Amino acid sequence: MDAIHIRGGKALFGETKIQGSKNAVLPVMAAALMIKDVCIIENCPRISDVYHMQQLLTGIGCRVTHIGHTLTIDARNIFEDTMSGDNVTGMRSSITLLGAMLGRVGEVTMAYPGGCVIGERPIDLHLNALRRMGVVIYEKDGGFTARVKELEGAVIHLPVSSVGATENVLLAAVMAKGVTVIQNAAKEPEIITLCEFLRQSGAVIEGIGGSVLIIQGRHELHGTCFTVPADRIVAGTYLMSVLGTGGHIFLEDAPAEQMRSVLQIAEEIGGEIHISREGVDIIAGEHKRALPYVKTEVYPGFPTDMQSPLMSVLTTAEGISIIEETIFEDRFRILEQLKKMGAGIERKGKRQAVISGVDFLLGCEVTAQELRGGAALVIAGCMAFGETVVRNPCFIERGYEDICRDYRNLGADIYIG
């Protein structure tokens, strides 16, 4: 079984280029399904989630090619409306194809989506919102069928500012009759990217970047060439790494504007940040300061995807830190793995972790259980003395194109084998 091997305990120096965004490219791929034309997506990361989405699109009739970092999707001929198997159950983002398929063919049968086990993440928000647009849902063991004769625009208030639900309603609304208003829409950069792709393809969308989106449906969509922005979570992961190990790194193309909350936390820990048009430069502080209290929030707050990487860094900070997780109730799965390395962490209720900084971590064998927690274990391995072996790298490969390559660019002693 493959594993990531890290000989840690040394500072990181160097530079690496940040890949295209996983969370942005997947809904863009779903949107391309609705366009009876050819779309070219540049700066597409070569990660397993993209591969799974590619397989889903191919399975329903799209012609998809992925050469280098250019993805071409030809969705002129769709012949299937059923999606099941590992490509659906293994990837949460497959749910985004729900709105796209309803917009394109008016019917879809899906297995319930899977992905990382970090909480319940119910899809009720998606289904209830689509019902407001005339969709009928037939639920059955392990999946459901959604049908609509004609999508109707509606005023939809999302009780929770959900990224996935916003994406699904947005995709359906582009093909719906009339005007759709999404209230309490998610404002994450990935939503903005999806709106920009749709608008570049001919859709009419107002309020981009705000909490209210207004979509005028049924405008003719056409093929386009679109460039995916850099991945803010990958950039944040590598930024946290140098804060944990010490050193000085440069992250080429890191999207600083999307990372304000992460950069602020980095400075509070003791890092020195320099932003330029080319990327972000990070110099680790001589001492890591604890954070008395930090909580995850919807954008522009501190992202839940960065919570586990931050926890790894704080294991050797001077003092006691408290992290509150407000998005996913089971994001603390990494806790026991870090404790195996010598970290002083305790749960406080279901939503808080109290981290008492220790002098150092010790390398050992640990197991990734989800995507961002797996990346955080790589951070801990870079910080720890001795060798760390991270099992289940398949989780990490869902979102990081080549994490070992990138860390080697930063001077880490790391390989997979």
Q: Which residues are catalytic?
A: 116
* Three-point CA angle 82, 85, 87, nearest 5°: 95
CA 180 – CA 158 distance, rounded (Å): 13
Strands 82-83 and 63-67: unpaired
Q: Which residue matches tokens 């407001």?
A: 132
Do the Cβ atoms of 286 and 315 come closer than 8 Å?
no
Structure tokens at 85: 């198997």
Which among 215, 254, 244, 233 is positioned nearest to 377, based on CA atoms? 244
What does 378-389 look like in DSSP terms, one character per residue?
HHHHHHSBSEEE
Q: How far is CA 8 from CA 94, 246, 382, in A?
A: 36, 12, 4
Within 13 Å and on the Cβ side, how many CA atoms surround 167?
A: 30
Do the Cβ atoms of 187 and 193 come closer than 8 Å?
no
Q: Is 107 helix (H, G, I), strand (E, B) or coil?
A: strand
Which among 196, 30, 152 is positioned nearest to 99, based on CA atoms? 30
Residue 181, amino acid: V
Strands 136-140 and 143-147: antiparallel
Q: How far is CA 197 from CA 31, 32, 223, 255, 260, in A?
A: 8, 9, 10, 18, 24
Q: Quick one: which H or E segment has residue 327? A: none
CA 235 – CA 262 distance, rounded (Å): 10
CA 26 – CA 192 distance, rounded (Å): 13
CA 356 – CA 111 distance, rounded (Å): 42
Q: How far is CA 386 from CA 8, 10, 236, 372, 391, in A?
A: 6, 10, 25, 23, 16
Radius of gyration, alpha carbons of the chain: 21
Q: Where are the alpha helices (DSSP H) in 105-162?
A: 124-131
